[in-house]
Amino acid sequence: HGITLGELVRFLSGDVSYYTKTEPNWLARLYFELRAALCRDYTWESVFRLRVSEGWRLSNIMGAYSVKSHDLLTTTNFDENKTLVYELDLAEAIPRDPWVVFQTALLFTTAAGERRIRVHNYAVLLTEDRNAVLESLDSGALVTHLLRQGLSRLYVSPDLTTIRTYLYQQVAAIIAAASGGTGRGELPASLAQFPLTALGLLKHPVFLGGFLDFNVEADTRNAMRLVLNMLTVDDTTQRFVPYLFDLTNIAYEETAIYDDTGNFIFPGCVSLSLSSIRSDGLYLMDDGETLTVYIGSQLDATTLKDLFGLDSFNYQAILTEDNLYRNGSAVICERFANLLAVLRARKSTGWAALHFVRQAESTVAETDFLYKLIEDRPDKDTRAVYKVSYGEFFNMIVKFQASTSGGR
């Protein structure tokens, strides 16, 4: 059995970037990702340990690491963009104390060659109040945990159908428990985004296909898995539920600018459904990795001219970032540039590729954009495995819960 690049990344908590020859911006992405990797602060030669109160035990750890001894992990070059997920179990029938205490200890070498140790202590009160538990839940953390469980199962069996079924059952059980046991009740505010984020998880390309094959597409999915196995909660959830900004009227609204306190005012977002997209609209999707501009087929001539340098909506014209801001004095150009700069600055590499898609151009790029509208049913996408809309997904959960609870 040979050691692959993926296993090196997985056990040495490294980074992986995958480039294909069909990717138009691969050279720019290589530059920014390599620069970020060289300039980032790392915890070199580091070991990490999580201790927990007596009466509790660590049952599983998910992420990029190797085990040095028992619960002491080797995290060779950890950084702020990587996370570990721990699962805990009660080791005794009844907790000893009304709280559980965690202590994390990280021993590492800085880039300056200093050996340091960083310790955090954190106590969490225990409660039997169901509502208090539900109100304190983090839907992003829950979905990240489910993702890591699915990725861990891939190392045991490559049967993606079984893994998707397991994830769906876990999602249904969480929604049912949080809504009163049937799935029909109202979810607490803390879990308002959980069903949509969970649907994004089940539809994500990382779980596409029946079984893994040794081909280029499998390499792409494997690279996705390695990256998702380390991402932070916020970065993970954005891969499943992208932001879709409505830029149609940014030139006429107080948006995509900084307020008097220096805070950036983002444009409003619309739901991830084709019904939210107008033919005379302009949209920008941020999926956490790339940025995609979606241009309505009836976008007004002034915007086309000022922003893209087009006299009319044209399927033949080549749109690249070099074509932008043809009328530098136009308000829309200034505000689009502001938004683009802020979104890129939020990425760990300080950059993201910018793609352009025209409505009804029937290209692979448009198919990818439409597939990320996860509230819709992706009937026309032959790659789609989970062909359900958001409404259908909820109905499936209600029926599933009824069948497992004997119709109660």
> What's the pLDDT score for residue 1?
44
> What's the pLDDT score for residue 406?
56
Q: What is the DSSP letter of 181?
A: S
> What's the pLDDT score for residue 177?
87
The pair of three-digit structure tokens given for residue 83, joined into one six-digit string? 């996370």
First to last CA, the chain: 51
pLDDT digits (tens, 9 = 90+) for 156-208: 888 888 999 999 999 999 998 898 765 566 889 999 999 999 999 999 988 87
> What's the pLDDT score for residue 210?
47
pLDDT digits (tens, 9 = 90+) for 59-75: 999 999 999 888 899 99
SS3 label, residue 271: coil
- 3-state DSSP helix/strand/coil % of the chain, to nearest 5: 35, 20, 45
The H or E element that residue 274 is part of is none
> What's the pLDDT score for residue 357?
96
The residues, ordered by sequence, that sit 6+ positions from 360 with a Cβ below 8 Å of its Cβ are 297, 366
Find tokens 């062909």 and name the residue. Answer: 387
> What's the pLDDT score for residue 103?
97
> What's the pLDDT score for residue 20?
84
> What's the pLDDT score for residue 289?
95
The pair of three-digit structure tokens given for residue 380, joined into one six-digit string? 């026309």
CB-side neighbour CA atoms (13 Å) of 159: 7
270, 276 Cβ separation under 8 angstroms: yes
Positive or negative, the CA dihedral 386, 390, 394, 396 is negative
What's the CA gap between 287 and 355, in Å, rounded?
A: 12
> What's the pLDDT score for residue 160?
87
What's the CA gap between 59 and 212, in Å, rounded?
A: 28
**Is the pTM higher than 0.75?**
yes
76, 14 Cβ separation under 8 angstroms: yes
C-alpha pair distances (Å), 253 with each of 94, 164, 250, 402, 406? 57, 43, 5, 47, 53
Q: At what angle do helices 216-228 and 139-154 cross, to 10 degrees?
A: 130
> What's the pLDDT score for residue 405?
63
Which stretches of the chain score pLDDT less than 70? 1-3, 181-185, 209-216, 405-408
> What's the pLDDT score for residue 172?
92
